[in-house]
């Protein structure tokens, strides 16, 4: 199908400002192929089915809109967690601020170095899951990332990583346009936790490709930075082997525009994938969770839990899909998306989809939207709880199902503390 | 013996002890495949094949339409030529050659308009008789059980029968006229009640609405027209029965229902077509206008020929149905049982414009063999305190694909509105598909929207229980599926409920074992 002229023009305008990074043969090939994928689909447009609720214009533009720097005046998330820190400033690795990258059971390298080497396992992963994730729904911003990313982290997990790896994204320039591409390969029976936090840049395009081998486990908790003016498009592409586990949780507060896409393929029997998110938005906030889970093996379990609390005209979007391929029997798929609208100006736009080609499955989804339950509020008020506190309590209760998806208690407590602080700051 | 080819005499001998006569009769009635696949041999008059301005003018001329109507059609046709066929639905079918169709087919015997039903060609009357829709002004539709006990007034059903492109006749017209209700074919309404048609036609589904609605606006040949005056409760059920008979002929019916202030009407729609190797096109538009406090129930049993076990033939059914609740406190209820058609593309919708207006949508869609259905609804909440409810049951068997597609939209001004949506899918066999594509758009916080969907298979325990009580597998399945769909079946008027239950069983034939 011929691309619409407007789309082609926008795509070429973006590509004109782009230079393909130099690298080894395999890396150059992967980047060129990604570029070809992008040219085929073109950059996203509002008329595309999966962009009807989110305007991609500022994500597409050749240059980012400047974003004012923001000092949250509080310690960053996960500060109390014993972790291995990897710091990026405006999308560039900062060796000074980072910890020593060596740790038992895990190999960590920079993408820039990996891509320069002629022989590296990364060649079987870089852009591979992203390319698989382009069908049936194109994800052009991810293809753009594969073509353009110069930096990122490349992780191979061979045992049980003793500490989480914590990626910290600092924002120092008002006009930074960061593109990061991370790879994680969890070998058979291995296990790791990846933490991410920070606003990263004025505009941030990030891809994380995760390949979990049989029996492996990957835990992921991210807190997207509090910068009000940042814009971000992130993608997670994951492939799960037999009896492997993938669990991801994202907390988003503030940010003009955030589009988080998660694309998971369950390819081994008895694999488990949980994706969860809690988003709190005030005023100029547009948050979009787009999730696509493909069941291509038997007896797999997937769970999507997304909760949004919106006020003062904030917009929350959820587009989630469970695809059960022929033969993926005994699938257990669950999906819930809920919005709590704290006032009359906010919006919740959802498209929870099921596409099922196997009969012996249990799949369900639910989606609700509404205001704070006045009966519950009345109950709390009648017990002497002040209105503001009562509202916070009810909001936390509403978000609990998503936060419960975080397995590590210390990390879950950290996330909860941040939620409470945000609510306390945003009382009327 | 192969499934679906049960011999009636064998069944007679097979009657087990303890199984009562009634059960046997019911099961026997269910046996056999598509019941309405026969053809009426009747001389037809066709307009030339293909579609162009001349054909549009010809259809308009045949219906003796005024100039404004011809122009209305032509403007739709010109628009249609600029449009592209939509591809977003989860249905796949070979490209339709719109020039390889007849757009107008009329029984020759209808050349001279019959003055009353007594003058209608007996062959046509026999056709409807065979379909169980007698065009005599008798009290009830044939085959309705338990009707004898119902009060006489409640049992009457007025019928408008549409055969290919023309309305054959409308019953009970005089009695309805006494109540002030206008019930006639749309072509007659254009001639007799132009002020009403001109005011409302295209006001709910505009000419430019979508590819198929625009095509319909250009070439619709007949359909039904209903006007219920203020404060009138229509004294009987109204019903339209659509029959496609001629080969390579598309049917494009247009229905317009206007329920004036405080009125009530219940409307039934049925459709069948002969079994053929080639596919046939059906693109209908139904518009309902509801003024203050009006209530309309619209029930459909869609049983177009679904194609054979190999997926050959069948009707391509592209339908645009929409109700506009313009008045405060108006209420519309769509109930549909979709068992036929090779391809179904249909989204009966409600625009809840009036404050406190209500929309309901109850649907059972059953697909078997190679059938594909993409159906659902749109609930557009514009007025305050509006309510909507969606209950959709999709059943997929064989190699069929069944999709629920719906939109619930709460506009900023639709304060304190409610929606509840429940979509359940049942899969029978591992080669079929069941899909759910809901869109939920909430733009105020005083409204509450709830959506639930599940997908499962027929419960083995239930099946085992029924089997252990002596039912064969297909009977057991039909019973379980009827149970699965009961919320929707219960919403149907009595005249349809029985037929629908039987259709559920027939549609699933050959889907087990």
Quick: pLDDT tens for B252-269: 999 999 999 999 999 988
In a domain, A391, yes or no: no
Which of A397-411, A413-427, B499-513 has maximum average pLDDT? A397-411
Predicted pLDDT at B15: 41
Q: How many angstroms separate the CA of residue A51 from the nearest CA in chain B?
A: 13
Predicted pLDDT at B146: 43
Sole residue written with tokens 């998330």: A77
Percent of chain B, pLDDT > 70?
A: 87
For B75-223, where are the E strands, in sequence order? 105-107, 157-163, 166-170, 182-185
Percent of chain B, pLDDT > 90?
A: 49
The predicted-structure confidence for B462-496, as pLDDT tens digits, reads as follows 888 888 998 888 888 888 888 888 888 888 777 67
B400, B429, B433, B442, best to mutate vs chain A, most A CBs in 10 Å: B442
Strands B224-228 and B182-185, by their bridges, are antiparallel
Predicted pLDDT at A84: 97
In a domain, A266, yes or no: yes
The Cα A273–Cα B255 span in angstroms is: 49
Q: Which two tokens stand for residue A187?
A: 């070998």
Residues B361 and B487 sit within 8 Å (Cβ to Cβ): no
Predicted pLDDT at B479: 87
B111 pLDDT higher than 80: no
Q: How many angstroms separate the CA of residue A308 from the nearest CA in chain B?
A: 13
Of B139-143, B307-311, B391-395, the one with minimum mean pLDDT is B139-143
B21 pLDDT higher than 90: no
Residue A301 Cα to chain centre, angstroms? 20
The Cα A306–Cα A352 span in angstroms is: 11
HEC profile of B143-165 = CCCCHHHCCHHHHCEEEEEEECC
Predicted pLDDT at B205: 96
Nearest to B453 among A339, A354, A358 (CB): A354
The Cα B130–Cα B39 span in angstroms is: 11
Percent of chain A, pLDDT > 90?
A: 91
Give the orientation angle of helix A5-16 with respect to helix A25-41, to 10 degrees.
150
Q: How confident is the model at residue A428 (pLDDT cuts 50, 70, 90)?
A: low
Q: How confident is the model at residue B9 (pLDDT cuts 50, 70, 90)?
A: very low
Nearest to B445 among A343, A366, A368 (CB): A343
A48 pLDDT higher than 80: yes
Is the Cβ pair B445, A353 closer than 8 Å?
no
- DSSP-assigned letters across all residues of B301-313: EE------TT--S
- Domain of residue A120, residue span: 10-372
A331, A357, A377, A394, best to mutate vs chain B, most B CBs in 10 Å: A357
Length of chain B measured in residues: 513
Mean pLDDT of the B129-135 span: 70
Of B61-70, B177-186, B210-219, B265-274, the one with minimum mean pLDDT is B265-274
B14 near A CB under 8 A = no
Residues B260 and B227 sit within 8 Å (Cβ to Cβ): yes
Predicted pLDDT at A2: 60
Q: How confident is the model at residue B135 (pLDDT cuts 50, 70, 90)?
A: low
In a domain, A364, yes or no: yes
Predicted pLDDT at B13: 41
In a domain, A306, yes or no: yes
Q: Which two tokens stand for residue A57?
A: 């214009």
Predicted pLDDT at B121: 78
The Cα B24–Cα B11 span in angstroms is: 8
B415 near A CB under 8 A = yes
Q: What is the ipTM of this complex?
A: 0.90
Terminal-to-terminal C-alpha distance of chain A = 51
Q: How many angstroms separate the CA of residue B316 from the nearest CA in chain A?
A: 22
* A367 contacts in chain B (CB < 8 Å): 438, 440, 449-451
Predicted pLDDT at A107: 97
Of all helices (H) and strands (E), which one includes residue A399?
Answer: helix A387-403
Give the residue numbers in A contacting B (CB under 8 Å), as ranges.
49, 326-327, 329, 339, 341-371
The Cβ-side half-sphere exposure at B214, using a 13 Å CA radius, reads 17
Mean pLDDT of the B151-165 span: 69
CA atoms B410, B411, B412, B417: torsion sign: negative
Sole residue written with tokens 């029965």: B241
B153 pLDDT higher than 60: no
Q: Which residue of A has its CA nearest to B396?
A: A359
Terminal-to-terminal C-alpha distance of chain B = 13
Buried-exposed string B303-340: b where 16+ CB fall within 10 A, e elsewhere: bbbbbbeebebbbbbbbbbbbbbbbbbbbbbbbbbbbb
Query: pTM of the entire structure?
Result: 0.89
Residues B444 and A343 sit within 8 Å (Cβ to Cβ): no
The Cα A119–Cα A138 span in angstroms is: 30
The predicted-structure confidence for A109-165, as pLDDT tens digits, reads as follows 999 999 999 999 999 999 999 999 999 999 999 999 999 999 999 999 999 999 999
Count of beta carbons in the 10 Å neighbourhood of residue A373:
14
A395 pLDDT higher than 90: yes
In a domain, A402, yes or no: no
Residues 6+ apart with CB under 8 A from A297: A242, A266, A267, A268, A269, A270, A271, A328
Q: Which two tokens stand for residue A234?
A: 């992130």
The Cβ-side half-sphere exposure at B292, using a 13 Å CA radius, reads 4
* B430 contacts in chain A (CB < 8 Å): 326-327, 329, 358-360
In a domain, A38, yes or no: yes
For A254-388, where are the E strands, in sequence order? 257-266, 272-282, 286-295, 301-311, 315-324, 332-341, 347-356, 362-370
The candidate with the shortest Cα–Cα distance to A152, out of A27, A25, A248, A324, is: A27
Mean pLDDT of the A299-313 span: 96
- Which residues 118-137 on chain B approach chain A with CB closer than 8 angstroms? none
- DSSP-assigned letters across all residues of B315-373: EEEEEEEEEEE-STT-EEEEEEEE---SEEEE--EEEE-STT-EEEEEEEEEE-TT-EE
The Cα B77–Cα B13 span in angstroms is: 59
Buried-exposed string B409-419: b where 16+ CB fall within 10 A, e elsewhere: bbbeebbebbb
Q: How many angstroms separate the CA of residue A365 from the nearest CA in chain B?
A: 5
Predicted pLDDT at B511: 66
Predicted pLDDT at B293: 98
The Cα A179–Cα A200 span in angstroms is: 10
Q: Which two tokens stand for residue A394?
A: 């009810």
Q: Which residue of B has its CA nearest to A360?
A: B457
Of A206-220, B137-151, B157-171, B263-277, the one with minimum mean pLDDT is B137-151
Residue B66 main-chain phi, psi, to 5 deg: -70, 165
Angstrom distances, CA of residue A292 to CA of B41, B353, B488: 53, 35, 31
In a domain, A425, yes or no: no
Sole residue written with tokens 């190679």: B370
Q: How many domains does chain A have?
A: 1
B138 pLDDT higher than 70: no
Q: Which residue of B has its CA nearest to A50?
A: B439
In a domain, A213, yes or no: yes
The Cα A400–Cα A51 span in angstroms is: 29
* A365 contacts in chain B (CB < 8 Å): 436, 451-453
Max CA pair span of chain A? 70
The predicted-structure confidence for A341-389, as pLDDT tens digits, reads as follows 999 999 999 999 999 999 999 999 999 999 999 999 999 999 999 999 9
Mean pLDDT for chain A? 95
Predicted pLDDT at A31: 96
Nearest to B438 among A347, A352, A363 (CB): A352
């Amino acid at each position: 199908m011929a691309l619409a002229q407007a789309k082609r023009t926008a795509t070429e305008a973006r590509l004109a400002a782009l230079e393909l990074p130099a690298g080894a043969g395999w890396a150059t090939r992967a980047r060129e192929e990604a570029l070809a994928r992008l040219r085929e689909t073109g950059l996203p447009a509002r008329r595309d089915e999966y962009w009807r609720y989110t305007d991609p214009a500022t994500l597409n533009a050749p240059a980012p809109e400047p974003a004012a720097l923001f000092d949250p005046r509080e310690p960053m998330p996960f500060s109390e967690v014993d972790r291995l820190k990897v710091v990026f400033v405006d999308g560039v690795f900062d060796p000074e601020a980072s910890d020593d990258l060596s740790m038992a059971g895990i190999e960590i390298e920079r993408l820039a170095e990996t891509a320069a080497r002629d022989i590296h396992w990364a060649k079987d992963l870089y852009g591979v899951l992203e390319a698989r994730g382009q069908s049936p729904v194109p994800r052009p911003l991810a293809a753009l990332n594969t073509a353009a990313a110069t930096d990122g982290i490349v992780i191979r997990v061979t045992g049980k990583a003793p500490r989480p790896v914590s990626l910290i994204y600092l924002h120092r320039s008002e006009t930074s346009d960061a593109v990061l591409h991370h790879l994680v390969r969890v070998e058979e029976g291995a296990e790791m936790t990846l933490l991410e936090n920070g606003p990263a840049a004025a505009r941030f395009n990030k891809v994380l490709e995760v390949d979990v081998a049989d029996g492996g486990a990957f835990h992921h908790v991210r807190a997207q930075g509090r910068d009000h003016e940042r814009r971000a498009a992130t993608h997670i592409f994951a492939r799960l082997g037999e009896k492997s586990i993938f669990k991801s949780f994202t907390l988003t507060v503030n940010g003009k525009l955030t589009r988080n896409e998660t694309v998971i393929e369950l390819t081994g029997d008895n694999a488990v994938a949980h994706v969860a998110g809690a988003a709190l938005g005030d005023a100029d906030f547009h948050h979009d969770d787009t999730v696509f889970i493909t069941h291509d093996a038997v007896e797999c379990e997937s769970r999507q839990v997304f909760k949004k609390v919106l006020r003062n005209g904030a917009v929350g979007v959820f587009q989630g899909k469970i695809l059960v391929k022929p033969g993926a029997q005994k699938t257990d798929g669950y999906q819930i998306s809920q919005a709590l609208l704290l006032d009359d100006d906010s919006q919740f736009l959802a498209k929870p989809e099921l596409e099922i080609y196997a009969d012996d499955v249990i799949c369900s989804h639910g989606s609700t939207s509404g205001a704070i339950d006045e009966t519950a509020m009345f109950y709390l008020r009648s017990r002497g709880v002040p209105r503001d506190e009562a509202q916070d309590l009810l909001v936390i209760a509403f978000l609990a199902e998503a936060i419960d998806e975080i397995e590590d208690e210390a990390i879950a407590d950290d996330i909860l503390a941040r939620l409470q602080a945000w609510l306390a700051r945003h009382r009327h | 013996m192969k499934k679906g080819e049960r011999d009636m005499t064998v069944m007679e001998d097979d009657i087990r002890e303890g199984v009562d006569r009634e059960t046997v009769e019911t099961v026997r009635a269910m046996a056999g495949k598509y019941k309405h696949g026969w053809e009426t041999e009747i001389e037809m008059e066709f307009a030339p094949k293909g579609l162009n301005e001349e054909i549009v003018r010809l259809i308009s001329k045949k219906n003796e339409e005024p100039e404004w109507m011809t122009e209305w059609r032509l403007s739709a046709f010109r628009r249609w030529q600029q449009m592209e066929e939509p591809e977003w639905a989860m249905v796949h079918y070979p490209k339709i050659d719109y020039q390889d169709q007849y757009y107008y087919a009329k029984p020759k015997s209808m050349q001279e308009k019959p003055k009353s039903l007594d003058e209608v060609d007996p062959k046509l009357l026999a056709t409807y008789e065979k379909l169980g829709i007698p065009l005599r002004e008798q009290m009830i539709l044939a085959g309705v059980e338990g009707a004898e006990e119902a009060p006489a007034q409640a049992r009457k059903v007025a019928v408008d029968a549409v055969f290919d492109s023309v309305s054959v006749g409308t019953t009970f017209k005089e009695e309805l006229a006494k109540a002030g209700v206008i019930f006639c074919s749309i072509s007659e309404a254009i001639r007799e009640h132009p002020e009403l048609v001109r005011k409302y036609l295209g006001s709910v589904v505009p000419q430019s609405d979508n590819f198929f609605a625009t095509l319909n606006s250009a070439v619709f040949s007949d359909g039904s027209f209903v006007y219920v005056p203020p404060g009138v409760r229509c004294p009987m059920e109204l019903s339209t029965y659509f029959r496609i008979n001629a080969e390579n002929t598309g049917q494009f019916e247009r229905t317009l229902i206007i329920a004036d202030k405080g009125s009530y009407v219940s409307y039934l729609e049925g459709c069948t077509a002969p079994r053929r190797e080639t596919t046939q096109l059906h693109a209908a538009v139904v518009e309902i206008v509801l003024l203050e406090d009006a209530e309309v129930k619209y029930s459909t049993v869609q049983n177009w020929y679904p194609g054979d076990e190999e997926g050959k033939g069948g009707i391509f059914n592209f339908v645009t149905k929409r109700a506009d609740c313009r008045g405060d406190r108006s209420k519309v209820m769509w109930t549909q049982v979709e068992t036929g058609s090779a391809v179904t593309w249909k989204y009966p919708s409600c625009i809840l414009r009036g404050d406190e207006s209500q929309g309901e949508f109850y649907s059972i869609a059953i697909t078997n063999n190679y059938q594909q259905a993409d159906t659902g609804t749109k609930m557009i909440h514009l007025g305050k305190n509006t309510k909507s409810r969606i209950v959709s049951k999709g059943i997929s068997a064989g190699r069929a694909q069944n999709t629920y597609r719906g939109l619930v939209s709460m506009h900023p001004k639709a304060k304190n509105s409610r929606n509840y949506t429940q979509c359940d899918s049942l899969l029978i066999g591992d080669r079929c598909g069941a899909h759910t594509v809901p869109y939920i758009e909430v733009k105020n916080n005083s409204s509450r929207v709830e959506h639930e969907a599940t997908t499962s298979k027929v419960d083995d325990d239930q099946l085992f229980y029924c089997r252990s009580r002596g039912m064969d597998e297909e009977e057991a399945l039909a019973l379980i599926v009827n149970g699965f769909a009961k919320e929707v079946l219960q919403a149907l008027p009595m005249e349809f409920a029985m037929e629908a239950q039987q259709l559920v069983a027939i549609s699933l034939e050959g889907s087990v074992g």
